[in-house]
Structure 1
């Protein structure tokens, strides 16, 4: 019985929190929500003169499985306007991904898109979700942000632009749609 009371109290608290969000938005003077869409390219360079992704943990069995289950990688990948690494850099994708499936090439990703140039300079977006790598199109959730992206929510669609399986270097086309205040 005690568990049900705790669950009811927790649910009531969440309901109160989410029902008060429109009031808080009005009090903060955030105005009406905006929708922003943008394209960029994420360069995940595992083997390079200056790597942008580094393995920081690896289970003893990770190399025995084709899915690399148990490997954790930290990233500081450049976001560029175009697919070439020499394209204008507009930010960084900073965070991590972990290989989380024993049967398929699947990642759990959690990273910040940190904008260092352009319209959203100084703002961040928080991205999280499952990335089933073999799929042509993968979708991740936008779960928050800062500055221009306060109270952000939305999604990012990733498509592999190029992938070198010998070096594990990849370029992904990143299309983001976000609602923010």
Structure 2
């Protein structure tokens, strides 16, 4: 009888160890890889204006950090080298202040050029649409933006998106519609080509 109970105990013990070892394997951080089953890729063109306002009582871009530099035109500039800005910039249909708001650009940018004549920013922004066909969707940019290096038009990269623009990629061509070099206020024309599913 004792041998039977002992045998039963040993079998139960090994069964518990086996079940525990198996269940710990099933709690891994990944699952099985499956085909993505994506639909055909689409291309969408978006044209809008972004208003980056640093001055006044209600700015849409606020400097949250800056380098401790002394002297020179870089320090005197509203967006001097090493300045980091948080943004909540309105996106509008047209360039005017009273133009219809279709979304907002939220994120940050840092001034990444010592020479003000070659003013460049590096930016991350989520450009979200709050009205129309793409309401609730956004495109994400993370790119170098050579504001003063290129005459007329410059280009930034689209690295992702959400909603209708999930898994987006592409580019945005930017033209400066208006800029005040004393205040740093700018109105920019964005012409986006978005590849998405």
TM-score, normalised via structure 1 length? 0.82
Q: CA deviation at 1:124?
A: 1.2
Matches within 5 A, 1:87-126: 87-103=99-115, 104-126=118-140
Counterpart for residue 18 of structure 2: none
The equivalent of 1:177 in structure 2 is 193
1:17-96 residue pairs with structure 2 within 5 A?
23-24=35-36, 26=37, 30-61=38-69, 64-66=72-74, 68-96=80-108
Aligned residues: 157
Q: Which has the higher strand share?
A: 1
Provide the aligned C-alpha RMSD in A.
1.7
Distance 1:174 1:36 in 2: 13
Which of these two proteins has the greater Rg computed from alpha carbons? Answer: 2
TM-score normalised by L of structure 2: 0.75
DSSP-derived class of the 2:164 partner:
helix
Name segments (4+ residues, structure 1) moved above 4 Å: none
Give ranges in structure 2 of 5+ residues lacking alignment. Answer: 1-32
